[in-house]
Amino acid sequence: MTTNWVCAVSVATVWTSPEAPREIDQFGLEHPVQLNKWIEKMRYEELLDLCDGNRVQTQLLYGEPVIVDSVEGDWAKVVCPWQASKKDERGYPGWVPVKQLAEVEQSTPQQFARVKVGRAQLWTTQKQPLLVLSFNTILRVSGVSEEFTVVQTPHGEALLATSDIELVTALDAFPKLDGEAIVKLALPFLDLPYFWGGMSSYGYDCSGFSYQMTKAAGYLIPRDASDQAVAGLEVNKEDQSEWQLGDLLFFANDEGTGSVRHVGIYSGNGQMIHSPSTGQSIEIRTLEGTKFVKELCAVRRFARVREGVTL
């Protein structure tokens, strides 16, 4: 067996530094984390400050691996290897409270389970409620029955309803779906409030939303919009007839000539589904007649376009 560090709470926030959290962020630093209480407690200005104050980098889902570079007091300096970033060739860097991580022994699994519903109850083996897991949480599998699947977790073996998960034999073996499937995966999150740095079904930022919906369709893409905008297959941004459902649309400052500031998922008919900004919620937006027309800087495709073809 090998020993690895993993996220040990339902969702762990990765901070810019140990000094970044404020007093109001305490609910987001606990074990178990209390995401709903944390988000509900913040006013608009405090939510906005997560971005403008350069406080939050990204988030980890339960069981997601981390590389721990160092431990300084109550904090761990980490890299998130599943989240590619130009900030570190190993993955997305930042800081996480040590108590939200666990060092676990991991055997070679025969299967993995991916949470396919918005949120799923994780149960102890005695069928007592343990944690509520986000969409797209991935855990190793120990055994499967019609009603429950036994998964390996930082809390030991636990149970997930088999109806709440998708099973595969390896992390790179999740079915690679087409762009239409990406849109269908995104639709259940309509009206979910935006959350800066968000990577979970408790709240996504724009690139966290595109990352997780594309990942759920079988494609691991970079974490940030600026990195996503130069990955995948380039699509002609000038000719909307060439766009496919599930393509990612990127928007930049200075009418499309500056730095990438936003990403949405093309949902057809000149529309996109996206997580707009603090104070707003995931929505379907028609591009025509909005600032997005002039700000469009790139269209990228990650999903296959028809059966049997993977791009």
Name, in order, each residue with C-beta under 8 angstroms of 26's C-beta and a sequence gap of 6 or more: 38
Catalytic residue among 7, 31, 155, 262: 262
What gap in Å lies between CA 163 and CA 168, rounded to an integer? Answer: 14
Helical spans, DSSP H, in the chain: 35-41, 44-52, 179-186, 206-216, 225-228, 253-256, 292-295
Token readout for 179 is 């762009």
Cα–Cα distance for residue pair 93/77, rounded to 1 Å: 8
Name the amino acid, one letter, at 110: Q
C-alpha separations of 258 from 59, 128, 216, 236, 261 in Å: 26, 52, 30, 19, 9
Q: Is 262 a catalytic residue?
A: yes
Per the annotation, the verdict on 31 as an active-site residue is no
Place of tokens 């997560």: 50
| Cα atoms in the Cβ-side hemisphere of radius 13 Å centred on 297 | 20
In 3D, which of 10, 22, 15, 30 has the Cα closest to residue 78? 15
**From 7, 51, 155, 206, the catalytic residue:** 206
Q: Which residue of the set 31, 51, 80, 274 is catalytic?
A: 274
- Catalytic residue status for 274: yes
Residues labelled catalytic: 206, 262, 274
